[in-house]
């Protein structure tokens, strides 16, 4: 299975997902979202897993968003569906490793914050939103993996304000919270 050409050359973020409630999503929007947010994880896993899963000390990490665990903003339905599908990709790869007797860890880094380049003022997909430096998120992930705190029961690593050392209330007090979805009805919700 190969992703469409645009999936390999375009960066898709939460800001790119359709902003429609479930009742308004078209088949084309659904298929495009799956092709750009889920299929690349499958293709990369198919290409790299055979080289990783036979090594006991190896780990394979899938990065996705936390929205998919819950859906606080109905207009983000496709993002929730795509993230939940990505969780399924990780679960299927973990099951494949387990069934094969492989001890490699399949990890998920579920981002509940907006991430920006270290040298950028903000994430262009989320203008005006509080964002964390990519190096901070990478450091959090590396420490968890290096210290062996990820794997087994801790195969899912949530990354939110709390995990990065800032209480969610403090982020909300500063205005638009990191990883928040702003709607007229719901206010700010952590994703």
Domain ranges of the chain: 5-182
Mean pLDDT rounded to a whole number for the chain: 75
Residue, of 189 and 37, whose pLDDT is higher: 37
pLDDT tens column, 121-144: 998 888 888 899 999 888 888 877
Q: Is 75 helix (H, G, I), strand (E, B) or coil?
A: helix
CATH of 5-182, one of 3.30.70.20, 3.90.1300.10, 3.40.50.720, 3.40.50.10480: 3.40.50.720
pLDDT at 171: 39
Tell me whether residue 53 is exposed, middle or buried, using C-beta atoms within 10 angstroms of its C-beta: 0 to 12, 13 to 18, 19 or more. buried
Task: Find out whether 114 and 171 touch, Cβ atoms under 8 Å.
Answer: no
pLDDT tens column, 54-65: 776 777 889 888
159 pLDDT more than 90: no
Rounded (10°) angle between helices 27-37 and 77-99: 50
pLDDT tens column, 67-98: 889 887 888 899 999 999 999 999 998 888 88
């Amino acid at each position: 299975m190969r992703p469409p050409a645009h999936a390999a050359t375009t960066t898709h973020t939460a800001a790119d997902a359709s902003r429609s409630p479930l009742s308004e999503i078209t088949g084309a929007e659904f298929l495009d979202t799956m092709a750009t947010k889920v299929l690349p994880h499958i293709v990369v896993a198919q290409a790299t897993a055979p080289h990783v899963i036979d090594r006991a000390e190896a780990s394979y990490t899938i990065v996705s968003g936390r929205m998919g665990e819950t859906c606080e903003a109905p207009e983000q339905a496709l993002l929730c569906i795509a993230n939940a599908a990505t969780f399924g990709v990780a679960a299927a790869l973990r099951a494949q490793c387990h069934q094969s007797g492989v001890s490699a860890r399949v990890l998920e880094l579920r981002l509940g914050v907006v991430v920006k380049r270290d040298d950028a003022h903000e994430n262009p997909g989320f203008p005006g939103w509080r964002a964390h430096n990519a190096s901070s998120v990478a450091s959090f992930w590396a420490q968890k993996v290096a210290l062996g705190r990820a794997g087994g029961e801790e195969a899912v690593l949530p990354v939110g304000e709390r995990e990065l050392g800032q209480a969610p209330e403090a982020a909300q007090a500063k205005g638009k919270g990191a990883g928040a979805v702003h709607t007229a009805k719901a206010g700010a919700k952590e994703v």
